[in-house]
Structure 1
Amino acid sequence: MPETSSVITTIDSILYKDIVKLVLLCTINEEPSISSSSTVYLTELASLDIKEWTKSRVDQALFERLRLSDPSSQLITTIRNEILIENRCLFYVSDCYQRLLRERNYFQIIFDDIQKLLIDHSTTAILLPDMYNDQDLSKQWLELLIASHDNSLLCKYTDHVNNELLLSSKDEIKLFYKNVFRHMYKAIQPLDYFSNELISYFDILMH
């Protein structure tokens, strides 16, 4: 029985490590690997003596990555990629969420845990906007809602976050949506009545 438990722990550890690499697109290995694609180096996490990868380590990795103001300075290779250096909080987490969904079968054992982790980080950012006071999260959210019309995976992310937010009646949530609608109002002002863009904004309200 202990041997079986050890095998399960090892499998989980490998999967959590792969989450950091394949979903967060990060690494704690400072040396570029020929077999791997470009990744962002996490200095703080790399300083720890990690013997086993857990959900807690993934949480640390995500938190450190979100606090990087210039991810491009931490790239392990010189190949720049807009997805890799994304520094907008909600855009980055939504990209991670979509990558997780694409690899759902591979990460099946830990899928629910990581999905919840990504949603929790999203709602925390919205509830505590001072954590990202140099970013306009309500504007990011509006842009994601519009983009989700042509992206079913992104739509799953925005729906999931919206559902979590609507469970709360906190003043921060009301203020957040108020700011989203303010951005929407500004955006539709110059649009023609029958433009496709205007229809997209109305679709958001009807969704």
Structure 2
Amino acid sequence: MANEIKRIFIESDYTYGVVRMQVALKRELNLQINIKKIRRLMRLMNLYPEIRRKRANWIKTKPDYTYTNIINRDFVATKPNQKWFTDISYLFYGKHQKAYISAIIDRYDMSIVSYIIGKSNNNELVMKTIEQGFKDNPNTSPIIHSDRGFQYTSNSYKQLSEKYKFEVSINDGCFFVFFNKVNNQLNQSN
């Protein structure tokens, strides 16, 4: 039996663990063997499966534009529409379905300036959120602070900043507090 386990293990390109080995023994040799026995034999023969890592399905790109951190941890806003913070997160709904939410918060009173919910995480989601924010708050020129996501370093985001005349400030995520609150509230309600 040990030789059969070793043969199947090698034929599987060293990927079968005890559960898959049990299934293979049943299928190929019609042997019903206790999983603990298989585990013990595999350990004695030093047969440990290689863990297959899921490949990333995205390509890391260079940002079109890089910006400085104008906010630099100075989160105090003395008037409305002075400092806006934006980010994207995702929410699960239904049976394993995912929606993305892009939101802007006014740091002055932590009110939501605008938000858009979409089915994909893309530039359009961010652009619509920014445009909605300026539609609801015309004649403002805030500093908009975000993380270094691809949407916020894209050419279309730069064009939007020129169109609405807002300053761009980028740093590694400091807006997560908002989405952590949202996710915690959703988890508590479920």
After TM superposition, the score normalised by the length of structure 2 is 0.26
* Structure of higher CA gyration radius: 2
Bigger strand share:
2
After TM superposition, the score normalised by the length of structure 1 is 0.24
